[in-house]
Amino acid sequence: MRYGVLGVPIGLLTLVFWAGAAHAGTQPVITAAEAYVIDATDGTVPYAKREHRRVPVASLTKIMTAYVVRQEARLGDALTITTADVRHANASGATTAGLKAGERVSVRELLYALLLPSGADAAHALAERYGPGTSKFVAKMNAAARELGLNDTRFTNPDGLPGKGYSSAADQASLAQVALDDSVLRQVVKAGKHTYRKHVWRNTNKLLSEGALGLKTGYTTAAGFCLSFAEKRHGHLFIGVVLGETSDARRFTTARKLLSYAEGWSSET
């Protein structure tokens, strides 16, 4: 059994107490198709909406990619970016970190390239090295999901591009907790900007300027606008996930509503 923030067991967060949410006032009305918020400090669940529904989660997938890389790689390992890495991102119309073929980049820097601008080129380079090969790397992602108790999750690629993969809001919250327990990933996901040589990678999470600790944005037509987020308020660490939101702006508005509601809920329970 793996344990996360303050000893709360990973994979058991969906089983913690959630009765009594009605005592904390009216729940917010949100437009996201699925949403989930946990209080990782005491293991309670202030808000849940279709939290076990299996849906595409777009680039939130890259959180698991980063987690597997942390198990397999040393931060100082140097990778040579290939033409295939660059072509993969460009041909798929995916977000890219602007990596160039022949460039030598450390794993530490590639984690920033993966999680801030959500580079599919970085995801491809890491998967090819640490699978080795993408199919073997995806198998490692799915093995990690099973180990972490993410029973509503199946990955088919390391970048979240359209495919048959899926996860759930509850599983993504548990995965976010795991990522935040890793000091390196915790540092990466809260960075607003990271500069490496001629690259300037900017985080697309607009909540960072408001005190959020991370984690990741995502979007595809099938998944809608997605967001995994975390913030400390009054001694409580709240971790939330918004899936299937209708616009970029609304995913952040929804997250703000959920954080405010969770804060009030925790103060009354």
Residue 14: band (very low, low, confident or very high) from pLDDT cuts 50, 70, 90: very low
Residues with Cβ within 8 Å of 249's Cβ and at least 6 positions away in sequence, in order, are: none
- Residue 25: the pLDDT is 64
Instruction: State the distance between the two ends of the chain, measured CA to CA, in whole angstroms.
Output: 27
Average pLDDT over residues 227-253: 97
- Residue 24: the pLDDT is 52
- Rounded Cα gap, residues 126 and 8, in angstroms: 30
- Residue 91: the pLDDT is 87
For domain 5-268, the CATH class is alpha beta
Decide if 118 is catalytic. Answer: yes
Q: Taking 90 as the threshold, does the pLDDT of residue 269 lie above it?
A: no
Q: Taking 80 as the threshold, does the pLDDT of residue 55 lie above it?
A: yes
- Residue 81: the pLDDT is 98
Residues paired with residue 232 on neighbouring β-strands, in sequence order: 237
Q: Taking 70 as the threshold, does the pLDDT of residue 189 lie above it?
A: yes
Cβ count within 10 A of residue 164: 9
- 182-193 burial, b at 16+ Cβ within 10 Å, e below that, comes to eeebeebbbbee
- Residue 53: the pLDDT is 98
- Residue 138: the pLDDT is 98
- Rounded Cα gap, residues 230 and 239, in angstroms: 4
Regarding predicted confidence, which is higher, 30 or 22? 30
Q: Round the average pLDDT of the chain to a whole number and report it.
A: 91
Residue 168: band (very low, low, confident or very high) from pLDDT cuts 50, 70, 90: very high
Decide if 183 is catalytic. Answer: no
Residues with Cβ within 8 Å of 154's Cβ and at least 6 positions away in sequence, in order, are: 142, 145, 164, 165, 166, 167
Average pLDDT over residues 41-65: 97
- Residue 264: the pLDDT is 87
- Residue 132: the pLDDT is 98
Average pLDDT over residues 147-168: 97
Decide if 62 is catalytic. Answer: yes
Among residues 59, 174, 228, 266, the one annotated as catalytic is: 59
Among residues 49, 92, 100, 118, the one annotated as catalytic is: 118
Q: Taking 50 as the threshold, does the pLDDT of residue 20 lie above it?
A: no
Q: Are 168 and 181 in contact (CB under 8 A)?
A: no
- Residue 266: the pLDDT is 73
Render pLDDT for 83-135 as a digit per residue (tens, 0 to 9).
999 999 998 889 999 999 999 999 999 999 999 999 999 999 999 999 999 99
Structure tokens at 30: 């949100």
- Rounded Cα gap, residues 1 and 147, in angstroms: 8
Among residues 62, 140, 216, 257, the one annotated as catalytic is: 62
- Residue 47: the pLDDT is 97
Counting beta carbons within 10 angstroms of the beta carbon of residue 263, is it exposed (0 to 12), middle (13 to 18) or buried (19 or more)? middle
- Rounded Cα gap, residues 196 and 108, in angstroms: 11
Average pLDDT over residues 170-199: 98
Helix (H) or strand (E) holding 47: strand 44-49
Of all residues in the chain, the percent with pLDDT exceeding 90 is 85
